[in-house]
């Protein structure tokens, strides 16, 4: 086993169960979106003040995808968990990501909500 493989396995082992559930939800969303023709550009874009789960290409659009997983619709479920402050952080992260892109491509924000076994994909849910 190489040192980088060992380190990757060690870091994965340190993730909390909540983080592992989130990772699995992002993987499920990614596979679903790929079957719909989207192409992965980047996973887990982080910047000061925001994060984007998946950045994908859908034709000419760059798509910023938020993935939310909830075990049920209790308390509003995955859809209701994207608050206005979360939307602001997503828009901020997208702006940071786009800063050095010339020209700036057409963009949209999508949401993949997973509630129990149901996956719901909503396109263009946030206006920046």
Could you report the per-residue pLDDT of 47-89, keeping only the tens digit for each? 999 999 999 999 999 999 999 887 666 666 676 677 788 889 9
Q: What is the DSSP letter of 127?
A: -
Distance linking the first and last C-alpha atoms of the chain: 45
- Return the bridge partners of 58, or none: 61
Angstrom distance (rounded) from CA 12 to CA 99: 31
Summarize pLDDT for 7-27 with one digit per residue, the tens: 667 666 666 777 776 788 899
Domains belonging to the chain, first-starting first, are 17-122 (3.40.1350.10)
| Helices and strands: H and E segment counts in the chain | 4, 5
- Higher-pLDDT residue of 71, 43: 43
| Torsional class of 90: left (φ above 0), alpha (ψ -120 to 50), beta (otherwise) | alpha
Mean pLDDT of 114-123: 89
| CA-wise closest residue to 104 among 92, 113, 96, 112 | 96
Helix, strand, coil percentages, rounded to 5, for the chain: 40, 35, 25
Residue 64's CB: how many other CB atoms inside 10 A?
25
């Amino acid at each position: 086993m190489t040192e980088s493989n060992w380190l990757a396995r060690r870091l994965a082992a340190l993730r909390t169960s909540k983080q592992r559930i989130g990772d699995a939800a992002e993987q499920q969303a990614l596979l679903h979106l790929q079957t719909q023709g989207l192409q992965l550009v980047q996973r887990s874009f982080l910047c000061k003040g925001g994060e984007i789960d998946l950045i994908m290409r859908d034709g000419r659009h760059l798509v910023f995808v938020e993935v939310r997983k909830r075990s049920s619709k209790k308390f509003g479920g995955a859809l209701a968990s994207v608050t206005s402050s979360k939307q602001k952080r997503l828009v901020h992260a997208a702006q940071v990501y786009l800063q050095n892109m010339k020209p700036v491509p057409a963009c949209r924000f999508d949401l993949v909500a997973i509630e129990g076994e149901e996956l719901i994909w909503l396109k263009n849910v946030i206006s920046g």
